[in-house]
Amino acid sequence: MQISKNSVVTFHYTLKDAEGTVLDSSSGREAFAYIHGGGMIVPGLEEQLEGRTAGDSLLAVVEAGKGYGEIDPQLLQKVPLDNFGGQTVEAGMQFQTPDNRVWSVMEVEEGHAVLNGNHPLAGVTLHFSVDIHGVREATQDELSHGHVHGEGGHHH
Ligand code: ZN
């Protein structure tokens, strides 16, 4: 069957950036499983999987806007070191604000730190190599739970 709304799709993938650096991969893990059409994966990949079938392999190139979003300059901020309550601040450290946003310290300059609250893959064009293993209808239980049961999903 072809991938359409409410299909359960299992696939293996390798995610690279434009330079070919591997950012993520399901290699060595269970195949990834999701319910199609529910926004469980980045929109650009979901679009390109539509209509595919088990056994298909594809390279899906996803622009940042349909991936993890463009870089939001408002989420690049210079924060005075005085705001950290005397704590040592170094590049690579991460802080979480009450809105659950994770900020990474990009660099520390005289008197202030440069923080980035964007998703680490914001602004990145994503290159997914995908091997589709299985396509089936989601069960009623899966649709009501909003996740896949069995291979690549929840076991309960
Ligand atoms: Zn469940």
Q: Over the stretch 105-139, which tens digit does the pLDDT of each residue have?
A: 999 999 999 999 999 899 999 999 999 999 999 99
Edge-to-edge order in the sheet of strand 102-109? 76-80, 112-116, 102-109, 94-96
59 CA distance to ligand 1 centroid (A)?
30
150 CA distance to ligand 1 centroid (A)?
9
35 CA distance to ligand 1 centroid (A)?
12
65 CA distance to ligand 1 centroid (A)?
31
pLDDT digits (tens, 9 = 90+) for 71-110: 999 999 999 999 988 889 999 999 999 999 999 999 999 9
- Which residues hold their Cβ within 5 A of ligand 1, which is an ion? 145, 154
Which domains, from first to last, does the chain contain? 7-68+121-145 (3.10.50.40), 73-116 (2.40.10)
Give the pLDDT score at 86: 86
Give the pLDDT score at 90: 95
Provide the pLDDT confidence category of residue 151 given band limits of 50, 70 and 90.
confident
Give the pLDDT score at 141: 96
4 CA distance to ligand 1 centroid (A)?
21
Predicted TM-score of the model (pTM): 0.82
Alpha carbon distance 87, 90 (integer Å) = 10
